[in-house]
Amino acid sequence: MEGTVPVGSIETIPARRGKAAFMRKGQAVKVINTHGHQVVDTWAFNANDPSEYMSMQHSHVAIDRVTPKVGDSMVTNRRRPILTFLEDTTPGVHDTLIAACDRYRFELLGCPGHHDNCTDNMWAATAALGVKPPDCPPPLNLFMNTPFTPGKGFAWLPPVSKPGDHVLLRAEMDLVICLSACPQDVMPINDKRPTEAQFEII
Amino acid sequence: MPRTTRRRNPRARAEKGIVTIPARKGIAVLVKKGQKVKVVNTHGYQIVDTWAFNSRDLSECMSMEHSRVAINKLVPKPGDSMVTNKRRPILKMIEDTTPGVHDTLVASCDRYRYKQLGAKGFHDSCTDNLWNAMRAIGRKPNETPCPFNLFQNTPFVPGKGIAFKRAVSKRGQYVLFRAEMDCIVCFSACPMDILPVNSGAPTEAHFQILN
């Protein structure tokens, strides 16, 4: 099947780019922070109906927190489990509150001309598999260290993950996983050194 | 509420005065750039799920995940502009006579939520209300965006989770927004009657468009 990644093969998410792959229910994806300071924006869509997708606002209710931990299942906009955290070798710092970066964000940050962004990466990576999401849902921002403090707002900090740290996520339905190696190089969330990351389907 | 009433042009009625958001139902209305919309918690303790869409292109909508970055807060205060998924201001909060407790983290209730909560058969939901209210004015959004849950008191406490508490806004308290673009605003008087967020008894609310 087009877009099927060989099981056990370590695949690269090129720096500043996205990649999507089909996963069968019961398979797991290991998302590896190869160099340790890279955010990976993550989406999941029901493979049979991409209008059902992993939703942060529904998951907040389902997991009763804003940052998932091992054992938590992220749910779709139909409140069905879609990805379960099986392992997390990082200190557990991820984000579910912040939109994927997009061309508008980089315009506002003063970048002239084109800038790679996770939203365009999501559209390109899903289109490459022939999948058409209805919209760009809020992403699960793996490894992103943007803690919110009431009265102070968000801090935009480099990831605390170490090189080679990973999260392992089990597919709870047949799905399309979409991963973007965040190209943000204006804010320090990737330590201003966007790199590639890797994933493996198990 | 009879369907015929909902199908009348809500904008024409709105400009004459105060419009009812029927208990457990939704209503959508065109608000022109520069106009203000006042959302009144008529009986107190009632949540109003709120969405806004660019009236010329419904794929551009008010986005909680983009707004949190724009306002650098989880919940806006007067002076803050909520933005769209193209990061353009769409609704600016001008005034808030409530204690300022609202929510941007929690999805609107839907048929799946009520099923999980054990409701038997059909239950009104804010998500269905959005689609029905938009259909009533002949519009169709791409998706159900994360709503701005006005008056919803569901604070997130780190280490403890999300507390589903009774709303704190009292009778007659309101929030006033200014439209920063021509937009369709949709309100749903949340029908949640299983969790105590609406004080157990969902009621109507009202809005008014001001020039």
Q: What is the pLDDT of residues A147-172, one digit of tens each?
A: 999 899 999 999 999 999 999 999 99
The 10s digit of each residue's pLDDT in B43-74 is 999 999 999 999 999 999 999 999 999 999 99
Of A60, A98, A136, which is closest to B68 when you measure between CB atoms? A98
Mean of pLDDT values over B186-203:
93
CA distance B211 to chain A (A): 30
| Closest to A74 (Cα-Cα) out of A181, A173, A202 | A173
> In whole angstroms, what separates CA B172 from the centre of its chain?
16
| Closest to B65 (Cα-Cα) out of B131, B126, B147 | B147
**Contact residues for A112 (Cβ-Cβ < 8 A; gap 6+):** none
| Average pLDDT score, chain B | 92
Residue A156: count of CB within 10 angstroms of its CB: 16
pLDDT of residue B82: 98
Residue B3 has pLDDT above 80, yes or no: no
Task: Scan for tokens 């009348």, then name that residue.
Answer: B8
pLDDT of residue B157: 83
| Average pLDDT score, chain A | 96
CA distance A32 to chain B (A): 25
Amino acid at A168: L
Q: Which residue of B has its CA nearest to A78?
A: B112
pLDDT of residue B1: 40
The 10s digit of each residue's pLDDT in B13-47 is 554 689 999 999 999 999 999 999 999 999 999 99
The 10s digit of each residue's pLDDT in A122-151 is 999 999 999 999 999 999 999 999 999 989
**Contact residues for B89 (Cβ-Cβ < 8 A; gap 6+):** B70, B81, B82, B83, B180, B181
Q: Are B133 and B186 in contact (CB under 8 A)?
A: yes
Residues belonging to chain A with any Cβ–Cβ distance to chain B shorter than 8 Å: 51, 55-58, 60-61, 64-66, 77-80, 97-99, 102, 104-105, 108, 134-136, 138, 148, 150, 153-154
Supply the ipTM of this predicted assembly. Answer: 0.95
Q: Which residue of B has its CA nearest to A136?
A: B85
Residue B200 has pLDDT above 90, yes or no: no
Pairwise CB contact (< 8 Å): A154 & B146: no
| Closest to A67 (Cα-Cα) out of A105, A93, A28 | A93
| Closest to A60 (Cα-Cα) out of B203, B164, B39, B179 | B164
Of B73, B106, B142, which is closest to A134 when you measure between CB atoms? B142
pLDDT tens for the 202 residues of chain A, in order: 456 788 889 999 999 999 999 999 999 999 999 999 999 999 999 999 999 999 999 999 999 999 999 999 999 999 999 999 999 999 999 999 999 999 999 999 999 999 999 999 999 999 999 999 999 999 999 999 999 998 999 999 999 999 999 999 999 999 999 999 999 999 999 999 999 999 999 9
| Closest to A36 (Cα-Cα) out of A174, A194, A199 | A194
